[in-house]
Amino acid sequence: MPELLAPIAGNVWKILVAVGDKVELDDELVILEALKMETPIYCDDAGTVTEIKVKEGDAVNEDDVLIVID
Amino acid sequence: MSRKQTPLRPYFEKMPDIGKELRAGEVRRSQANVELVREQEEIIAQELLRVKNAGIPAEKVHSRGGMTIYDRLDYLVDAGTWNPLHSLYNPTDNEEGCTGVVNGIGKIEGKWAVIIGFDNKVMAGAWIAGQAENILMVTDMAKRLNVPLVWLTNCSGVKLMEQETVYAGRRSSGAPFYRHADLNHLGIPILNGIYGTNPAGGGYQGISPTILLAHDGANIAVGGAGIVGGMNPKGYIDEEAAQALIEGTKNFKGKAPGRVETHFDQTAYFREAHDTEQGVLDGIKDYMKMMPAYDPTMFRVAAPAEPKLPASDLNLLLPANQKRPYDAIQILARLTDNSEFMEYRPDYGREVFCGIAKIDGFPVAFVGNQQGVFPGYPDYANGEYPGVGGKHYRQGLIKQGEFVTLCGRDNLPIVWLQDTTGIDVGDLAEEAELLALGQSLVYSIEQTELSMMCIVLRKGTAAAHYIMCGPQANNNNAFTLGTPLTEIYVMHGETAAAASYARRLVKEDAAGNDLTPTLDKMNQMIKDYQEKSQPAYCAKTGFVDEIVSLPKLRSYIKAFTGANYQNPKSITPVHQMLLPRIIKG
């Protein structure tokens, strides 16, 4: 089950999908905010969002799981 | 059997490939970005149209049997080679909406030239405010690139109602004549096609170039005969003086002095006189054939090639959202021949890339900002904060300084791709010597004899804007381009508002006062910064020399490169270059 990881530490600024959404390769799923920059997190495979492990405003560390896709 | 090859073929024929094709999903998710780019392009297009329509209608010039400056340029310049500059420049916000000259770089008869002409629709090509600075930028460019300057003179002289805006000072409308003398002294020819009536300043505009070619209806003179004596002992104009003026003007039958019958038939200042406007332009073309220019084969290191990756991708790749990172090498891959690049010290100073590429088969250096986050970097931060793309740190500044110095030694022209938020600040940064290293880069640029061009892809901010060869690099910077996504300011508006009002906020808060008036001022300041850093504003005020759509950037880079190699004053034999060897190791 592919997991979408945070590439850097930061705050979750926006979550652009919901559980059950079908997603495609390269879709933008989450935007992290760190160091005054937005870091978009893209889907690296097609599938369905089965779990969202964070909420907007959460602080995350590098490699934390953000979203699970089946 | 005879055999031929390009020099240092093992280094230059095939450089490392860079960039990769965009996947369908990347294209899909970037469509909104393309729309944002197009919005800015539309604003610029409207502004360009406004400038082109400044003054009297083109139809009026045509109905008199004449050509506008735009018609003349169309006829003169080789098709597909025109790269306009300073189109929206109007720093003093003239009522004319422009500075009354049209200029750029293009080829005539296959040779690059810097070309400028008076807009004869705007007050018959009068001197107006801002024009002298525009002309200085153009003469500087011819000097920097060592290519001919071509003038299309049609200048009615000073706009007399505003003489103080053009006549005063060290860089005013008389200064271009010294620049013409300077260019002649340096061996850079100035070809001048002369049209219309050119008295006084227009006369010097006519006489100061190297080669003068006139239309039969043209004249150049110290002053015009149409000026009826206006001075009288009273020191003012009353009814009686006005009547004398009216009679004098009505009865004036004289012709303008300095006509072709004087300056062709008698003084022989004019090399040629033509009964058609096109004839003058044909004369310029004939003289351009005589201009010194190496065959490109002399300096090419490979056959010219377009990038493998399409320029149209650039509108997808460069985020309009200034807070978004991107892969700068993907941008570079859409600009260089065959999408190839030989990178200098990629593992050192990760926030910038430096290296050699080919443009139209010529070797050219590129320096630019990387984007993104660099955990564990810079070393001197000891993990207190990570490096961020667009910023400059110790290693990156050292790398740029040594790269520029080596480019000077190898005679490689440099293209700078700026997208910078500044140089790192704070005690750690000062201990890491960033202040001195920034100035050291300025010194490195200045001590070369290289031509450079600067492209501000998105942000040009703080000292980083000028240490990366912004327009302040007067002796090296040939021109600076912006894009539809360019923003240039000394610092971001929100930062500037905080810097200006933070102490007042503390004071008002401590006194228990309403913060709203201060907040209003801060927000107004942020709004002003936003408005005064937009692409059209940058072009109007001279932050950049032109706003260029991203897919058209390569055309300007090719013009810069081709002009640079047309008649260089200094040559490094390709087989004696050091940089390719240093990069290979």
pLDDT tens-digit profile of B89-124? 999 999 999 999 999 999 999 999 999 999 999 999
Confidence band of B237 (pLDDT split at 50, 70, 90) = confident
Q: What is the mean pLDDT of residues B455-480?
A: 96
- Measured CA to CA, the distance from residue B394 to residue A7 in angstroms comes to 25
Binary contact (A26, B373; C-beta < 8 A): no
Query: Which of A10, A12, A36, A14 has its CA nearest to residue B322?
Result: A36
Beta bridge partners of A14: A31
Portion of chain B with pLDDT greater than 70, in percent:
98
The pLDDT value recorded for residue B251 is 79
| pLDDT of B413 higher than 90 | yes
Query: Out of B29, B375, B388, whose CB is closest to A28?
Result: B29
Confidence band of B506 (pLDDT split at 50, 70, 90) = very high
Give the tens place of pLDDT for each residue, B486-499. 999 998 888 899 99
Give me the CATH topology for the region A3-69.
Answer: OB fold (Dihydrolipoamide Acetyltransferase, E2P) (2.40.50)
Q: Are strands A10-15 and A28-34 parallel, antiparallel or unpaired?
A: antiparallel
Q: What is the mean pLDDT of residues B168-180?
A: 92
Residues B496, B481: one domain? no
The pLDDT value recorded for residue B190 is 98
Residue B252, both tokens? 């004036």
- Whether B409 contacts B578, CB under 8 Å: yes
Residues B214, B301: one domain? no
- Measured CA to CA, the distance from residue B564 to residue B560 in angstroms comes to 6
Mutate to test the interface with B, among A32, A35, A41 (most CBs of B within 10 A): A35
Domain boundary among B289, B307, B342: B289
Q: Which is the catalytic residue, given B69, B273, B442, B463? A: B463
- Measured CA to CA, the distance from residue B52 to residue B57 in angstroms comes to 10
Q: Of A30-44, B46-60, B317-331, which range is least confident?
A: A30-44
Residue B378, preceding bond cis, omega within 30 degrees?
yes
Binary contact (B386, A35; C-beta < 8 A): yes
Q: What is the mean pLDDT of residues B269-283?
A: 98
B367 to B353, B385, B414: CA distances (angstroms): 6, 25, 7
Give the tens place of pLDDT for each residue, B517-573. 999 999 999 999 988 889 999 999 999 999 999 999 999 999 999 999 999 999 999
Residues B275, B354: one domain? no
Confidence band of B61 (pLDDT split at 50, 70, 90) = very high
| pLDDT of B201 higher than 90 | no
Does the active-site annotation cover B463?
Answer: yes
Q: Determine if residue A44 is left, alpha or beta; phi over 0 gives left, psi from -120 to 50 gives alpha, anything else beta.
A: alpha
Put simply, whether A26 touches B (Cβ < 8 Å) is: yes
Query: Which residues, other chains included, contact B227 with Cβ-Cβ below 8 Å and sequence gap of 6+?
Result: none
Q: What is the mean pLDDT of residues B24-48?
A: 96
Does the active-site annotation cover B280?
Answer: no
Q: Is residue B281 part of a domain?
A: yes
Other CB atoms closer than 10 Å to residue B529's CB: what's the count?
19
Burial class (CB in 10 A: 0-12, 13-18, 19+), B88: buried
Query: Number of structural domains, chain B?
Result: 3
Higher pLDDT, A45 or B565: B565
Q: Which residue do the tokens 């997603």 mark?
A: A23
Put simply, whether B78 touches A (Cβ < 8 Å) is: no
Does the active-site annotation cover B138?
Answer: no
Largest CA distance in chain A: 32
| pLDDT of B228 higher than 60 | no
Binary contact (B373, A39; C-beta < 8 A): yes
Cα nearest neighbour of B29 on chain A: A27
Cα nearest neighbour of A36 on chain B: B323
Burial class (CB in 10 A: 0-12, 13-18, 19+), A64: middle
Binary contact (A8, B375; C-beta < 8 A): yes
Q: The domain spanning residue B57 has which CATH number?
A: 3.90.226.10
Give the residue numbers spanning the domain of B130. 53-289
Distance from CA of A59 to the nearest CA of B (A): 16
Q: Is residue B245 part of a domain?
A: yes
Put simply, whether A8 touches B (Cβ < 8 Å) is: yes
The pLDDT value recorded for residue B459 is 95
Taking one residue from A and the other from B, the number of pairs with CB-CB distance under 8 angstroms is 39
Binary contact (B323, A25; C-beta < 8 A): no
- Whether B467 contacts B435, CB under 8 Å: no
Domain boundary among B236, B258, B289: B289
ipTM higher than the 0.90 cut: no
Residue A8: DSSP 8-state:
S
Q: Which is the catalytic residue, given B158, B302, B356, B462? A: B158
Residues B114, B168: one domain? yes
The pLDDT value recorded for residue B227 is 59
The pLDDT value recorded for residue B238 is 85
Q: What is the mean pLDDT of residues B375-399?
A: 95
Q: What is the mean pLDDT of chain B?
A: 95
- E strand or H helix at A4, and its extent? strand A3-5
Show me where the domains of chain A are located: 3-69
Query: Which of B333, B329, B336, B334 has its CA nearest to residue B352?
Result: B329
Binary contact (B324, A8; C-beta < 8 A): no
Q: What is the mean pLDDT of residues B464-482?
A: 96
The pLDDT value recorded for residue A44 is 87
Give φ, ψ of B141 to 5 degrees. Answer: -65, -40
Q: Which parts of B195-252 are beta strand (E)?
A: 197-199, 211-215, 219-221
Put simply, whether A45 touches B (Cβ < 8 Å) is: no
Residues B238, B120: one domain? yes
Confidence band of B131 (pLDDT split at 50, 70, 90) = very high
Residue B519, both tokens? 């907040």
Q: Is residue B20 part of a domain?
A: no
Confidence band of B181 (pLDDT split at 50, 70, 90) = very high
Distance from CA of B490 to the nearest CA of A (A): 17
Residue B1: DSSP 8-state:
-
- Measured CA to CA, the distance from residue B525 to residue B564 in angstroms comes to 42
Tell me the three state secondary structure of residue B55: coil
- Measured CA to CA, the distance from residue B73 to residue B150 in angstroms comes to 11
Put simply, whether A62 touches B (Cβ < 8 Å) is: yes
B513 to B448, B502, B504, B505: CA distances (angstroms): 56, 15, 11, 9
Binary contact (A27, B321; C-beta < 8 A): no
Residues B272, B411: one domain? no
Mutate to test the interface with B, among A26, A39, A44, A62 (most CBs of B within 10 A): A26
Give φ, ψ of B253 to 5 degrees. Answer: -120, 0
Does the active-site annotation cover B423?
Answer: yes
| pLDDT of B253 higher than 80 | no
Put simply, whether A31 touches B (Cβ < 8 Å) is: no
Residues B414, B557: one domain? yes
Residues B266, B351: one domain? no
Q: What is the mean pLDDT of residues B344-363?
A: 98
